[in-house]
């Protein structure tokens, strides 16, 4: 029997049943994807024994997600929508740094442990937050744009953080890599400014692409994956490159049909990405360390929410918006799993901290949507 057919069939059935259930409770479908991954993973049904089996393919889902975000989002033309995210992310980094190292000093944790915890806390999930904003029609609101810009700034921070992790693991600090990443970031900034002018990118492609959907699909795929590849080669995240490609494509009349065509692929690959998160949940380890992981996840959601809420309130947003924004930025991003894996491979952290970090990251992604929904409904009820 085909070795792939059974697990994929069971996965699709589980996702279907769970999404129907979640639809009744108006919960995001990404919860279904994570739970489905957990159920077919090595610690329950063992149909997919390793997350690495689908992880390379699943990462395409993040590229497609960011590509579609770029097509949908309106580029800010007001300085406040660029200035506020810079202040918000910078302030949160400082507050998180002070809090993390103060707690680590009091608890007697090693410096490297504190550094890894700090890195985990300053990154959030673009996939979770953007999908939540989009489904609630808030992606193009002023507050939604500000939140998304904060997440994009975090993507720009990936390269220096990865370099720092390698340095902590005993590697050589790569100034050329940092320089290339900084140059690419500046180039992206000027590209975004130029793309605001719609006429700037109205290239004469209509004669080649118009009414030929097959060429459009592959041309769009080349731009999405190609920009992601170029971004990674320059030291930035592939997701950021695909986002820029989406902005570019979204302003070309010749590609108006593309979004509808690629949407089914986006749904499937994004689902695979969250399934891979579920596959990483080790139920036996969580059960053995339930108190530590459970309290860690709850404290993470609460502390991250409060820190972000204080920052947003300082930027003159209402308490309702601030609390909602804090909830949106409460989880550890998918980069947390990458950071834990790299730190473990380079022997920066031990096995227990690695497993605990991965578990808390995955659970924060799973429960953050429930936390966001609860706070959002509370804020709406108070208005």
pLDDT confidence tier of residue 200, bands split at 50, 70 and 90: very low
Range 159-176 average pLDDT: 64
Percent of the chain with pLDDT over 90: 25
Q: Give yes or no for residue 30 having a pLDDT over 50.
A: yes
Cα 364-117-121 angle, rounded to 5 deg: 50
Q: What local confidence, expressed as pLDDT, does residue 130 receive?
A: 87
Distance between CA atoms of residues 244 and 228, nearest Å: 9
DSSP string, 25-50: TT--THHHHHHHHHHHSTTTT-SS--
What is the signed CA dihedral for 226, 227, 231, 237, rounded to 10 degrees?
-100
Output 362 or 335, whichever has higher pLDDT: 362
pLDDT tens digits, residue range 55-97? 777 778 888 888 888 877 766 555 555 788 889 999 999 999 9
Q: What local confidence, expressed as pLDDT, does residue 190 receive?
A: 62
Output 60 or 212, whichever has higher pLDDT: 60
pLDDT tens digits, residue range 299-340? 999 999 999 999 999 998 999 999 999 999 999 987 788 788
Q: What local confidence, expressed as pLDDT, does residue 285 receive?
A: 92
Per the structure block, which two tokens stand in for 36?
A: 């489905």
pLDDT confidence tier of residue 291, bands split at 50, 70 and 90: very high
Q: What local confidence, expressed as pLDDT, does residue 90 receive?
A: 92
Q: What local confidence, expressed as pLDDT, does residue 267 receive?
A: 86
Q: Give yes or no for residue 17 having a pLDDT over 50.
A: yes
Q: Give yes or no for residue 211 having a pLDDT over 70.
A: no
Residue 267 CB neighbours (<10 A) = 14
């Amino acid at each position: 029997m085909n070795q792939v057919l059974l697990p994929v069939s069971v996965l699709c059935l589980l996702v279907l049943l769970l999404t129907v259930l979640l639809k009744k409770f108006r919960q995001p479908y990404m919860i279904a994807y994570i739970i489905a991954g957990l159920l077919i993973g090595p610690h329950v049904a063992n149909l997919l024994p390793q997350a690495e089996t689908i992880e390379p393919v699943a990462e395409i889902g993040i590229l497609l997600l960011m590509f579609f975000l770029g097509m949908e989002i309106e580029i800010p033309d007001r300085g406040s929508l660029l200035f506020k995210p810079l202040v918000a992310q910078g302030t949160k980094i400082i507050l998180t740094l002070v809090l993390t190292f103060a707690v680590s000093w009091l608890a007697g944790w090693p410096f490297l442990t504190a550094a890894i915890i700090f890195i985990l806390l300053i990154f959030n999930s673009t996939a979770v937050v953007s999908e939540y904003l989009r489904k609630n029609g808030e992606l193009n609101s002023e507050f939604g744009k500000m939140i998304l810009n904060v997440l994009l700034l975090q993507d720009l921070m990936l390269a220096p953080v990865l370099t720092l992790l390698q340095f902590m693991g005993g590697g050589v600090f790569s100034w050329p890599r940092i320089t290339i990443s900084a140059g690419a970031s500046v180039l992206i900034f000027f590209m975004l400014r130029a793309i605001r002018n719609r006429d700037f990118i109205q290239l004469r492609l209509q004669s080649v692409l118009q009414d030929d959907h097959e060429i459009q699909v592959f041309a769009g795929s080349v731009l999405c994956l190609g920009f992601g590849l170029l971004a990674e080669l320059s030291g930035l995240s592939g997701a950021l490159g695909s986002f820029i490609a989406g902005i570019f494509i979204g302003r070309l009349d010749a590609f108006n049909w593309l979004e509808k065509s690629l949407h089914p692929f986006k749904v499937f690959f994004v689902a695979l990405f969250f399934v891979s998160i579920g596959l990483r949940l080790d139920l036996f380890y969580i059960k053995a360390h339930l108190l530590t992981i459970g309290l860690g996840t709850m404290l993470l959601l609460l502390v991250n929410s409060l820190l972000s809420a204080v920052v947003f309130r300082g930027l003159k947003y209402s308490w309702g918006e601030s609390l909602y924004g804090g909830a949106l930025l409460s989880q550890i991003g998918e980069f947390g799993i990458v950071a834990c894996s790299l730190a473990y491979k380079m022997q920066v952290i031990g096995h227990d901290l690695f497993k605990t970090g991965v578990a808390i990251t995955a659970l924060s992604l799973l429960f953050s949507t429930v936390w966001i929904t609860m706070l959002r409904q509370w804020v709406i009820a108070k208005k």
